[in-house]
Amino acid sequence: MSYLLAKEILWKAIVKNLKYKSHSDVIQFLRSIPLLNDLSSWQLARLSEILYHRTYEEDEFVFNSNHPGAALFLIHTGEVAIEIERSGRVYNLATLTETQCMGDLALVNYTERTASARAVKKTTCYALYRKDLEKMMVTDADITCKIYKAIAVMLAERLKSMNEIFEKMEKESLQAYDKIG
């Protein structure tokens, strides 16, 4: 019997106990997160053990721009504005709601946050800290590989979208120049 098969059988037995039942709401929530689509039930149960539940009041910052990034946040309830400040003015880049994630770059690198995340209304999140995910690489490499792969796919999609935006801007700029000339 392979190690992974034995591990899955063991986890299926474990998730039937009371500990699983206490995590069942969290596991159900994790199932709704697109980033975690490739994880099985027992992998979600394992992941739920290293998440931290956080509550943020209206206008409270989940994280601030230029601060070190240490965690990915999964929005359970509420609404969060992703904002940047330039020349004293605050710009809203996106508004995220339930089942969306933010701060994903913190799992990939050790750079500062490029934007702030502010709760628009009372919000609950689950935080996945980089240090905990790195520890999990030793015990559950299959889970961490799937998470990092999903983040890579998400970042590639963002890059593609940004390239499309720049191409559109470039075309519009050239058309405006042609009209002038």
Q: pLDDT tens digits for 1-47?
A: 566 665 665 555 555 444 444 578 999 999 999 999 999 999 999 99
pLDDT at residue number 20: 46
136 Cβ partners below 8 Å, 6+ apart? Answer: 46, 47, 50, 143, 144
Higher-pLDDT residue of 91 and 162 is: 91
pLDDT at position 168: 85
Instruction: Please give the structure tokens belonging to residue 84.
Output: 């940047």
- Are 71 and 103 spatial neighbours (Cβ–Cβ below 8 Å)? yes
Model pTM score? 0.80
| Nearest residue to 102 (alpha-carbon basis) of 123, 131, 132 | 123
pLDDT score at 120: 98
Q: What is the mean pLDDT of residues 152-156?
A: 92
Per the model's pLDDT, the better-predicted residue between 146 and 166 turns out to be 146
Q: Report pLDDT digits (tens) over 46-71.
A: 999 999 999 999 999 999 999 999 99
116 closest CA partner among 159, 78, 56, 66: 66
Average pLDDT, the chain: 88
Range ranked top by mean pLDDT from 2-6, 51-55, 160-164, 166-170: 51-55
At 1 the pLDDT is: 58
Of the pLDDT bands very low, low, confident and very high (cuts 50, 70, 90), residue 179 is confident
The total number of residues written for the chain in this structure: 181
Q: What are phi and psi of 122, to 5 degrees?
A: -50, 130
Backbone phi, psi, residue 35, to 5°: -60, -25
Q: What are phi and psi of 37, to 5 degrees?
A: -55, -30
| Separation of alpha carbons 15 and 23, rounded Å | 9
